[in-house]
Homo-oligomer: A and B are copies of this chain.
Amino acid sequence: MLELAILGLLKERSMHGYQLSKRLTDTLGFWRVSYGSLYPTLRRLDQQGAVEKVFDQVEVGRRKNVYRITEKGEKLFFELLQDANTETGEDRFRVRLAFFKYLAPEARIRLLERRRTFLEERLGTIEASLSGDRDGTDTYTRALMEHGAESTEQDIAWLDDLIQAERNIAGRATTKAKGKPAKGGTKRRSKRSTTRTKGLRGKERTT
């Protein structure tokens, strides 16, 4: 997954390790990457020909290893991006979302809905745990779970917005305009009140 993130960033512009680290932490998903995985991954990518070192304006004693993505690397990038099969874990989703512009709208929607299903399931288990646990849990565990439920609900609402926006795009791209006004676009909508989440979500897909 680090490979995917690195390749995606190098697609925009060539960088050296330290810059990659900053971009990974700050802008992209703001999830901390250890040098203990960044540099080895970078070297691994280099050895398999997905990236290459750039020696240009070295000047004086500057020891910077600037990397550039190769065509092989571009291909690898799209393979990894398409491989949404194994998508659990927060970070993986974030990284993929960050490179959504390289995916077709339908693929985006598929990914967003899968994520939504996952969060909905999690919310279900949390709420089941909250309601079915008579005085077994202490205050702090309870606070933790309640906050978790709240955050998850907000994440779902956010996903709903993204999905809606994506549908608007896909709608006017393929099918003809027909009774799908969907005005505002990416503003806050989808006030979810259905806290009851047992076995909804129609259309289960096998994957």
Interface window among A23-31, A44-52, A57-65: A23-31
For the complex formed by this chain, how many copies does it contain in all? 2
Interface centre among A32, A98, A138, A140 (most CB of B within 10 A): A140
Main SS at interface, chain A: helix
B187 pairs with A29, CB closer than 8 A: no
Give bound CA distance, A150 to B154, whole Å: 10
Size category, A interface: 35 or more
Which chain A residues (56-110) contact chain B, with CB distance < 8 Å?
A: 88-89, 94, 97-101
Interface status of A186 (Cβ within 8 A of chain B): yes
Cβ-defined partner of A147 (8 Å) among B101, B144, B158: B158
Interface status of A145 (Cβ within 8 A of chain B): yes
Q: A146-B186, A158-B147 are in contact. Are A100 and B27 (CB under 8 A)?
A: no
Q: Which residues of A contact B (CB under 8 A)?
A: 25-30, 32, 88-89, 94, 97-101, 122, 125-126, 129, 133, 137-148, 150-151, 154-155, 158, 162, 180-181, 183, 186-188, 206-207
Can you list 13 pairs linking A and B with CB atoms under 8 Å apart? Answer: A26-B129, A27-B133, A27-B141, A28-B141, A29-B144, A30-B126, A30-B145, A98-B140, A100-B140, A101-B138, A139-B180, A154-B154, A188-B206
